[in-house]
């Protein structure tokens, strides 16, 4: 496979840059593209060309979207007084696919991780605090749903302390909760089955 034709080689090298894809898999995937209809390839090439320019962040929750405000924030059926704080947009997919939650979200785009030089200023905590300061009166509950591993716990603790302060300063009465039992320590929400996720949201505890 050392002599893949130029275009295939470039595609294989690109696939190799994706997470979890080694050289062999990259070559196999690139070759597989040859079996697809030309029209499909053109279609996907179009999406690829536009994905970066068209995708932006929701002005309210910082979920990825192609509009100024994402579908969830814009949906009048969603309970705006319930905010679940998650590490990244993929976690929203877990909740939404499981269909267990009617509130809205706030996406942090990461977690506090000193070993990898990610501090609170590097993720979207400030945006959350600003949102809570502005709308605190309407908020009934904030669920801290960062992953139950070391960095996720540290991030939840940091946010909890900040929120507590805002609560006291502004006489807000919202509850701060954390996902309850069901989630194994070290779990990743993205890979959690929906029953476990449902159990953990039903049994969330005051934090
Ligand atoms: Zn949104």
Note the pLDDT tens digit of each residue in 143-193: 999 988 889 989 999 999 999 999 999 999 999 998 876 667 677 888 777
| pLDDT reading at 2 higher than 70 | no
Cα separation, 170 vs 173, whole angstroms: 9
21-48 pLDDT tens trace: 999 999 999 999 999 999 999 999 999 9
Report how far ligand 1's centroid is from the alpha carbon of 185 (Å).
28
Amino acid 181: pLDDT: 63
Report how far ligand 1's centroid is from the alpha carbon of 160 (Å).
21
Report how far ligand 1's centroid is from the alpha carbon of 70 (Å).
4
Report how far ligand 1's centroid is from the alpha carbon of 30 (Å).
35
Neighbours of ion ligand 1 (CB under 5 A): 58, 60-61, 63, 70, 73
Report how far ligand 1's centroid is from the alpha carbon of 106 (Å).
7
- The three-state secondary structure class of 90 is helix
Mean pLDDT of 89-110: 92
Report how far ligand 1's centroid is from the alpha carbon of 195 (Å).
25
Report how far ligand 1's centroid is from the alpha carbon of 87 (Å).
14
Report how far ligand 1's centroid is from the alpha carbon of 174 (Å).
20
Of 27, 36, 35, 24, which Cα lies nearest the Cα of 8? 27
Here the contacts of 57-64 (C-beta below 8 Å, separation 24 or greater) are: 57/107, 60/104, 60/131, 61/104, 61/105, 61/106, 61/107, 62/106, 62/107, 62/108, 62/109, 62/124, 62/127, 63/89, 63/92, 63/105, 63/107, 64/89, 64/107
Report how far ligand 1's centroid is from the alpha carbon of 103 (Å).
11
Amino acid 185: pLDDT: 66
Amino acid 1: pLDDT: 47
Report how far ligand 1's centroid is from the alpha carbon of 183 (Å).
25
Amino acid 120: pLDDT: 95
Backbone angles phi, psi at 118, to 5 degrees: -105, 110
């Amino acid at each position: 496979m050392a002599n893949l034709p130029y275009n295939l080689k470039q595609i294989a090298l690109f696939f190799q840059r994706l997470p979890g894809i080694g050289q062999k898999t990259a070559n196999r995937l690139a070759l597989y593209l040859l079996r697809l209809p030309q029209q499909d390839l053109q279609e996907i090439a179009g999406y690829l060309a536009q994905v970066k320019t068209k995708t932006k962040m929701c002005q309210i929750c910082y979920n990825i979207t192609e509009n100024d405000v994402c579908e969830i924030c814009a949906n009048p059926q969603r309970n705006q007084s319930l905010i679940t704080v998650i590490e990244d947009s993929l976690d929203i997919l877990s909740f939404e696919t499981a269909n267990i939650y009617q509130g809205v979200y706030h996406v942090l785009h990461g977690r506090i991780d000193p070993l990898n030089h990610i501090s609170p200023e590097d993720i979207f905590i400030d945006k959350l605090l600003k949102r809570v300061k502005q709308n605190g009166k309407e908020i009934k509950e904030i669920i801290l749903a960062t992953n139950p591993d070391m960095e996720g716990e540290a991030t939840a603790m940091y946010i909890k302390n900040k929120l507590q302060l805002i609560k006291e300063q502004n006489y807000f009465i919202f509850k701060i909760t954390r996902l309850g039992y069901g989630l194994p320590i070290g779990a990743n929400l993205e890979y959690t089955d929906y029953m476990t996720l449902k159990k953990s949201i039903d049994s969330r505890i005051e934090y």
